[in-house]
Amino acid sequence: MKDGSLMNNGRVTTPTGHLNPIARITLIVAYAVLALAALGRSSFEISTKFGDAPLPYTVSAISAVLYTVITFALWRGKNRLALIGSSIELVGVLTAGSLGIIESAWWPKSTVWTGFGSGYGWLPLLLPMLALWALIRARRSSAAPAEVAR
């Protein structure tokens, strides 16, 4: 079949290894919203009061770039890049959240990731977990048929 579909026991199916379209669109929208929010926040903070708290404002800028990369990767179907970006995001959220509790003097101002993303409804903590689950699930489903074919 020329459209990328496969015949499986007389049924036409789509190839595995792709994210569920609804999950993919939901992740793209969520990451795009976070990218815009983090970009707006970090741009304002860096341009008006960077000297007050350079570390938190730099972390906000890094999160904006990361959210943009993940959005682009999901949109273009670059699941490996999205997987790597989501992993980095989860480590960043956990690190910033933990350091904010352990050494609050390092975080005189909040960032997108401080408090484990509590200022954003914990979306920065939950979103990479959901993205990793969906991406790993899609990756495993693409590996299963390859093993059966051997």
Residues 44-87 pLDDT 10s: 999 999 988 888 889 999 999 999 999 999 999 999 999 999 99
Q: Confidence band (pLDDT; 50, 70, 90) for 5?
A: very low
What torsion do the CA atoms of 74, 75, 80, 86 make, to the nearest 10 degrees?
-30
In terms of Cα–Cα distance, which of 85, 78, 97, 99 is closest to 127? 85
pLDDT, average across residues 117-139: 92
Given a contact cutoff of 8 angstroms between Cβ atoms, the answer to whether 99 and 106 are in contact is yes
Predicted TM-score (pTM) of the model is: 0.80
Q: Answer yes or no: is pLDDT of 12 > 70.
A: no
Q: Is the pLDDT of residue 1 over 60?
A: no
Q: 59 with 108: CB under 8 angstroms?
A: no
CA distance 150 to 137: 21
Give 7's strand partners. Answer: 12
Report which of residues 125 and 111 the model is more confident about: 125
Q: Is pLDDT of 36 > 70? A: yes
Cα–Cα distance, 62 to 51 (Å, whole number): 17
Dihedral of alpha carbons 9, 10, 16, 21, sign: negative
**pLDDT score of 14 more than 50:** no
